[in-house]
């Protein structure tokens, strides 16, 4: 399909002038509107105003300019249909063979303001209508909604004077995806609710991955319109390409460290923390987090809630690490990382807000589940002390630490903590008793590994992400040496569990909040 006539009307004018010059050099007539036409004329490119084609001026502050049969007829007419061709002749409609349109920046505007009038004016009507018309008629019309496609289109025109059907179909699919994403963003804003009756969502592929969780699975990373600070928005400074599992684990690690105000390090393996610690400096936090489980830390993901400094970088690179993610990194730290060319370093520019309740989505057969993310948080004043002995100040501090970690451990979750670092983690077991036993055993294993005289569970506190249905789980923790426990409460047998705690002389607090994480 030879391209003789093009309509260019864009908000994002990236690459516009160079592309228009190539069209002009190919002998293609250019139609345009408003600011696009002005910019092209200022660049000495010949332009025909759409108003001169329609015989109707732009009105209502530009709201109405391209919604006209002489535009949409030129886009929608099938060039192989005699009735369509006859209608074009009778109504003096000329074909439009190339449409270049990108939309009013609604999403970008939404990211900077909640002013209703401003957002309404950034809802494009004529643009989506033209894009959909051209995309529908892609057998005959080439459509471009993204400046990144200009080079491909121009190269095909330079070579053949036309584009291939395969290119037109690819561009049409991309266009419908763009208009769908655009409408989804507008619908979400207008609905102003997390779980509307009808929902649509969209993403932009930012990274093609070698494979998914396993080599026989396909995978890619997409960025959503509501970009939350984290792995999806991070800049990869160095290292091998990220894998699906790297990204999933890194996300879990960074969300965990964002919960803490003090300098904190988290080491993740298979989406669960094997070591978490807070201290007065990142390097001290690293040493404590590593000591919690140095065996599992090998080949792990390391996240921190402070800028990566030289001392911490030197310590982290002493063991095999897959990914390091931080808000920032000093030049000295970057230089140390660079000596490990396979190590991925991701910098986010900030931390996610742990209180956010943005929507999370999980696919299931035949549909998907939606929920707000777990932004629930509690403080010491929210706890209900249910035992005769209240927790000490030190125990209370560790209880708050353990509770934050348990929120990010796969259920059933049991987390031992002592002096601001994890001592043992039990994750993802079918029985809470088994999670408790595993956490205690891992702590004993670490004591043997380090040559410590006793397990760090002696004198520790424990967090459980949900209530104890029976006293047996609590008894495992008491046997391991725990002196204080924080848990949601709410079991029919809470009285039995409290009685077991009192009999052992330990402190226990109820949060009234559960943190299941499946």
Give me the active site residues, please.
136, 270
- Classified as helix, coil or strand, 7 is strand
Instruction: Determine the Cα–Cα distance for residues 359 and 153; give it in Å rounded to an integer.
Output: 38
Instruction: Determine the Cα–Cα distance for residues 13 and 102; give it in Å rounded to an integer.
Output: 9
Tokens at residue 149, please? 């496609």
DSSP letters for 183-214? HHHHHHHHH-SSS-SS----EEEEEE-S-SSS
Report DSSP state, residue 64.
B
Instruction: Determine the Cα–Cα distance for residues 330 and 283; give it in Å rounded to an integer.
Output: 14
Instruction: Determine the Cα–Cα distance for residues 468 and 7; give it in Å rounded to an integer.
Output: 67
Tokens at residue 200, please? 């649509």
E strand spans, 279-435: 300-304, 321-326, 344-347, 359-364, 367-372, 384-385, 414-418, 421-426
Which residues contact residue 151 at a Cβ distance below 8 angstroms, ignoring those fewer than 6 apart? none
Instruction: Determine the Cα–Cα distance for residues 208 and 213; give it in Å rounded to an integer.
Output: 14
* Residue 406 CB-half CA count within 13 A: 35
The answer to whether 455 and 480 are in contact (CB under 8 A) is yes
Place of tokens 């943005």: 358
Instruction: Determine the Cα–Cα distance for residues 97 and 101; give it in Å rounded to an integer.
Output: 13
Q: Shortest CA distance to 474 belongs to which of 498, 457, 456?
A: 498
Q: Shortest CA distance to 321 belongs to which of 240, 388, 428, 426?
A: 240
Q: Name residue 52's beta-bridge partners.
A: none
Element (H, E) at 485: strand 484-487
Place of tokens 């600070």: 229
Decide the pairing of beta strands 461-464 and 484-487: parallel
Which residues contact residue 219 at a Cβ distance below 8 angstroms, ignoring those fewer than 6 apart? 209, 211, 212, 213, 244
Tokens at residue 103, please? 């939309």
Place of tokens 């190269």: 155
Rg, the chain, Cα only: 30
Number of residues that make up the chain: 518
């Amino acid at each position: 399909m030879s391209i003789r006539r093009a309509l260019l009307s864009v908000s994002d004018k990236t690459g516009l002038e160079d592309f228009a010059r190539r069209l002009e050099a190919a002998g293609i007539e250019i139609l345009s509107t408003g600011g696009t036409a002005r910019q092209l004329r200022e660049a000495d490119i010949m332009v025909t105003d759409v108003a001169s084609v329609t015989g109707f001026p732009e009105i209502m502050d530009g709201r109405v300019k391209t919604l006209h049969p002489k535009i949409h007829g030129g886009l929608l007419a099938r060039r192989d249909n005699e009735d369509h061709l006859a209608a074009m002749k009778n109504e003096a409609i000329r074909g439009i063979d190339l449409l270049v349109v990108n939309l009013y920046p609604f999403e970008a505007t939404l990211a900077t303001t909640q002013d209703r009038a401003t957002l309404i004016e950034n809802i494009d009507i004529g643009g989506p209508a033209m894009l959909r018309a051209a995309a529908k008629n892609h057998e005959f019309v080439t459509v471009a909604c993204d400046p990144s496609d200009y080079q491909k289109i121009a190269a095909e025109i330079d070579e053949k004077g036309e584009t291939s059907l395969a290119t037109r179909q690819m561009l049409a699919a991309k266009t419908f995806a763009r208009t769908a994403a655009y409408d989804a963003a507008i619908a979400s804003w207008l609905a102003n609710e997390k779980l509307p009756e009808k929902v649509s969502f969209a993403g932009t592929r930012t990274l093609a991955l070698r494979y998914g969780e396993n080599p026989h699975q396909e995978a890619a990373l997409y960025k959503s319109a509501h970009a939350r600070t984290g792995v999806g928005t991070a800049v990869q400074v160095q290292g091998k390409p990220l894998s699906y599992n790297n990204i999933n684990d890194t996300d879990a690690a960074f969300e965990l460290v964002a919960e803490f105000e003090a300098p904190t390090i988290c080491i993740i393996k298979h989406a669960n923390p094997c070591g978490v610690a807070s201290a007065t400096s990142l390097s001290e936090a690293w040493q404590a987090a590593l000591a919690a489980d140095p065996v599992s830390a090998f080949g792990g993901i390391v996240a921190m809630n402070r800028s990566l400094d030289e001392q911490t970088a030197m310590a982290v690179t002493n063991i095999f690490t897959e990914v390091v993610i931080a808000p920032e990194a000093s030049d000295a730290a970057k230089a140390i990382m660079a000596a490990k060319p396979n190590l991925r370093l991701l910098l986010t520019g900030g931390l996610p807000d742990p209180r956010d309740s943005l929507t999370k989505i999980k696919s299931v057969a035949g549909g998907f589940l939606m929920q707000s993310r777990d932004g629930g948080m509690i403080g010491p004043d929210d706890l209900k002390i249910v035992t005769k002995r209240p927790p000490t100040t030190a125990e209370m501090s560790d209880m708050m630490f353990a509770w934050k970690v348990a929120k990010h451990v796969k259920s059933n979750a049991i987390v031992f903590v002592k002096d601001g670092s994890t001592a043992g983690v039990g994750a993802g077991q079918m029985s809470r008793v088994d999670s408790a036993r595993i956490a205690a055993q891992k702590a004993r294993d670490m004591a043997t590994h380090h040559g410590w005289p006793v397990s760090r569970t002696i004198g520790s506190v424990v967090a459980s992400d949900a209530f104890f249905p029976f006293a047996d789980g609590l008894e495992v923790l008491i046997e391991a040496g725990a002196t204080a426990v924080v848990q949601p409460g709410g079991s029919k047998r809470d009285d039995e569990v409290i009685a077991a705690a009192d009999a052992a002389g330990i402190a226990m607090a109820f949060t009234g909040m559960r943190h299941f994480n499946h």
